[in-house]
Chains A and B, each alone.
Chain A
Amino acid sequence: QSALTQPPSVSGSPGQSVTISCTGTSSDVGSSNHVSWYQQPPGTAPKLIIYDVSNRPSGVPDRFSGSKSGNTASLTISGLQAEDEGDYYCNSYTTSITWVFGGGTRLTVL
């Protein structure tokens, strides 16, 4: 199972919006409603921010939103804040009853 494809880095200024893509195949993202996103600030453990494509756990700001079209899922962060800096990972359940992560995207707030 190959890792899902994410851009290595994205950046934006405070207040702007950025979108991170996550491309898989028909064996994972394309056939799964169970795509999740994780935020990992430097030196910390990952934290769940989106699950089941577009749902936010309690406590996660509504600036974070998720969507999916075909084999590609997306995470959009609006109203960028300095505290949003870090690495972001997508994850998908697969038809092999396994899970697979994306390679990760480093978000820089300029």
Chain B
Amino acid sequence: QLLESGGGLVHPGGSLRLSCAASEFTFSNYAMSWVRQAPGKGLEWVSGTDGSGGITYYADFVKGRFTISRDNSKNTLYLQMNSLRGEDTAVYYCARAPVYIAVAGRAPKWFDPWGQGTLVTVSS
């Protein structure tokens, strides 16, 4: 089970840290990801990390602004979001996401299960 928290209203340029508490599985054994969904729009992969947290990977549109991390002692995944923009407004989901590694790059293979999501609204 995955339970996100930390969403809310933030001004443009502001920061927010999302959390995702995991239970009922051995958290450190699994790569994890964040996926977002803008209101009325489709799904968009944001960032992922391996089981140890030592390897992280990002979608191009968040590189340098968002940082993914995890604390395996607390079974918790995080997403630190800085320099937030209006287009970052979305429901943010965490998901277990095994990673595929190829010459072309490292990215999730699929997402399962998903948390219930937390809404981030960026507005003045």
Partners in one complex: no
A interface, CB within 8 angstroms of B:
none
B interface, CB within 8 angstroms of A:
none
